[in-house]
Amino acid sequence: AAGVIQSPRHLIKEKRETATLKCYPIPRHDTVYWYQQGPGQDPQFLISFYEKMQSDKGSIPDRFSAQQFSDYHSELNMSSLELGDSALYFCASSATGEPEAFFGQGTRLTVV
Amino acid sequence: AQSVSQHNHHVILSEAASLELGCNYSYGGTVNLFWYVQYPGQHLQLLLKYFSGDPLVKGIKGFEAEFIKSKFSFNLRKPSVQWSDTAEYFCAPEYGNKLVFGAGTILRVKS
């Protein structure tokens, strides 16, 4: 069965650079969620989209932005990267009426 | 406030021992409840879920959890753990269509 696809799997950036993470939800899933998991920490909700509109916002820094496109894939844009942004970024997707979210394998971002 | 509390951060068990991981969540009306597992170096995988109905739910790999509404609890159990159960376990109630993860419990099973 198709799963949530995230790319890239690994990314190394320098401080003050910009990064773009991509998430391709399971086909027919209309909701996408982004989570950030710092080293040794629990996943923290960043932002979610439903039908290409932002549906909820968590602890997402102003330096980050995200959007969901017409094909339902989502991109998380991160600017002015800081060392503290080093983390595993998970994307999850779900379908309307089905509260279970399926997670991708994550993008490990390292800021040096 | 929407919150979730996992009682133990680290648990060490021998193989064949029984496991119970505690999870309490803050009241928020109707809430869907999930347990996720994260094996070393891997992504989050769903263990089991509770939406409604029978409060005792069974998941994959012999795990089960019991929803006790009066205690706002959703404890995870397994009668006999295996070395391969070594992982981090997250309780995650769903509030307003987003998951709120607990701090996680790292389980190490000694062979």
Residue tagged 């069965």 (tokens): A1
Peptide bond into A61 cis (omega under 30): no
Q: Is A7 on the interface with B (CB under 8 A)?
A: no
In sequence order, what are the residues at sequence separation of 6 or more whose Cβ sits closer than 8 angstroms to the Cβ of residue B46?
Answer: A100, A102, B34, B35, B36, B59, B60
Closest Cβ opposite residue B46 in set A48, A100, A105 = A100
Quote the pLDDT of residue B62.
Answer: 95
Quote the pLDDT of residue A1.
Answer: 60
The pLDDT confidence band at residue B35, using thresholds 50, 70 and 90, is: very high
Q: What are the tens digits of pLDDT across the range A32-80?
A: 999 999 988 888 999 999 999 998 888 899 999 999 999 999 999 999 9
Question: Would you say how long chain A is, in residues?
Answer: 112
- State whether A99 and B32 contact (CB < 8 Å): yes
Q: What are the tens digits of pLDDT across the range B42-78?
A: 888 999 999 889 999 999 999 999 999 899 999 999 9
Best to test chain B binding among A10, A30, A42 (most B CBs inside 10 Å): A42
Contact map slice: B 36-95 vs A, CB within 8 A = 36, 42-46, 49, 51, 90, 94
In sequence order, what are the residues at sequence separation of 6 or more whose Cβ sits closer than 8 angstroms to the Cβ of residue B30?
Answer: none
Go through B20-38 and write b for each residue having 16 or more CB atoms within 10 A of its CB, e for each that does not.
Answer: ebebbbeeeeebbbbbbbb
**Overall average pLDDT of the A12-40 stretch:** 94
Q: Is B30 on the interface with A (CB under 8 A)?
A: no
